[in-house]
Amino acid sequence: MGKVYIFDTTLRDGEQTPGVNLNKEEKLEIAKQLAKLNVDIIEAGFPIASPGEFEAVKNIAENVKGPIIAALARAIPLDIDRAWEAIKYAESPRIHTFIATSDIHIEKKLKKTRDEVLEQAVSAVRYAKRYCSDVEFSAEDAVRSDFNFLCKVFEAVIDAGATVINVPDTVGYALPWEFGELIKKLKENIKNIDKAIISVHCHNDLGLATANSLSAIINGAEQVECTINGLGERAGNAAMEELVVAIKVRRLPYEIGIRTEEIYKTSKLVSNLTGVIIQPNKAVVGENAFAHESGIHQHGVIQDPSTYEIIDPKMIGIPENRIVLGKHSGKHAFEKRLQELGYSLPPEQLEEAFRKFKELADKKKEITDKDIEALVSNQIRLIPEYYKLTHLQVVSGIGIVPTATVILSEDGEEIKSVEIGNGPVDAVYKAIAKAVKITHNLEDFSLKSVTGGTDALGEAMVKISDKEGNIFVGRATSTDVIEASATAYLRALNQLIMFKKT
């Protein structure tokens, strides 16, 4: 098995994500987690960029053990001096210097000739070698560079002492088969390539960074530069978690030292500290990566996870997959969740609970465990419905007298009642009390949110008493708090009636 080195540039290229600005302590925290993840190289930053960046890179070099600590530098002596000052305390330091080699960059950005670029690249590597035995050279925009010139530059910098040559797809332009062919041709045409490691650095502008990186590995690249969650300039870089898991799952013949069980923890840490939210459908680490809502998928996963999961969530540090209950879910998933929550309903009650679950699912995007417990707690209270609410209408607002119209069913007969009140719930309760004509006192009423969000279930609790002081409690849940309040009141009244009848 060939060794593939993982070069993590989350703290350098990843921090160049628009809107991301990590402080010294945050960068150190991420670097320590990257060491736990067991990356081979941590590119800690670009020391010449600012005094704060220099201090952050130096702090990592002094305090993080295990991985090689790299610092980026333009092919300029001042940059290289600053990079070395920042990383010289590392156990294994690396200077990473670069210059653009494509004609568009040479002419438009650098305003130099090819010969001048070649001379500057060689001089930079020689200068860096005075400080550090491990020197990486990157040919910026290599993919759009003239192939013969690119080979000439790489051959010259290897002769100058470069231990790693990096082939960046700086603007994410390559297609996988093109990029793989480029790596293959470089290996065949650079005479001294056996003296250096070939690295690749792919951007994701066309959504192909991971595919391009894999193609490069298959064609001889030995180091891959990537970031956690695919952070980076514009559309970002190749996502490390995607690369590593793809190699592991497909059992490609390459050795990677990453501790995969640390992937999810690392992903969450980077997301929290950078403030960049991971899209729900992000491969490997997205919230939905191991979530299933479709009833067909849920049934399959319950029987055997491999029916719809090619990745074991435990591989990346997630305890288990997630069955998301929603309107697409089937009875198998609903019943399994009930059992996990400790409920075992007889068939009739299960059918009724599932029906009410489907009704709720049409109103809510996702059903939580608290929603289910609220549904079931209502379902298992076998109180006869002497009075049943069949119609409820409430008119309320600023400058409007709250008015409630209720229609109750009693033994198939309809009872209509209209009342006004101080608020919508008060109006509803007065209308219900007028309709049922049962002597009682309202002792307590409370309303609370069972779950979060504007579509949360509201739980109403009502206590009433009869003239002897016996207390009867009614509870109900609904996304409509007025409905929940009315249903809870009627349940308390029905309990009172049942008590009198028995």
Please give the radius of gyration of the chain, using alpha carbons only, rounded to the nearest integer: 33
Average pLDDT over residues 437-449: 87
State the Cα–Cα distance between residues 179 and 213, nearest whole angstrom.
8
pLDDT of the residue at 338 = 72
Query: Which residues lie across from 418 on neighbouring strands?
Result: 405
Give phi and psi for 11, each to the nearest 5.
-80, -10
CA distance 182 to 174: 10
Angle, CA 401 vertex, CA 398 and CA 403 arms, to 5°: 120
Encoded tokens for 237? 């870089």
Comparison of pLDDT for 290 and 118, the residue scoring more = 118
Provide the pLDDT for residue 366.
67
Say if domain 388-501 classifies as CATH 3.40.50.2020.
Answer: no
The string of pLDDT tens digits covering residues 153-186 is 999 999 999 999 999 999 999 999 999 999 999 9
> What residue ranges do the domains of the chain occupy?
2-274, 291-379, 388-501
Would you say residue 322 has pLDDT above 60? no
pLDDT tens column, 370-396: 677 666 655 544 567 789 899 999 999
| 383 compared with 195, residue with greater pLDDT | 195
* CATH fold of the domain at 2-274: TIM Barrel (3.20.20)
Distance, in Å, from the CA atom of 184 to the CA atom of 219, rounded to the nearest integer, reads 5
What does the block give as tokens for 129? 């070698």
* Non-local CB neighbours of 467 within 8 Å, separated by 6+ positions: 439, 440
pTM score, two decimals?
0.69
Q: What is the pLDDT confidence band of residue 335, given thresholds at 50, 70 and 90?
A: confident
Measure the CA–CA gap between 190 and 183, rounded to whole angstroms.
11
Phi/psi for 425 (5° steps) reads -70, -40
pLDDT tens digits along 30-88: 999 999 999 999 999 999 999 999 999 999 999 999 999 999 999 999 999 999 999 99
The tokens 């996990």 sit on which residue? 340
Mean pLDDT of 93-105: 98
Q: How far apart are CA 478 and CA 473, in angstroms?
A: 17
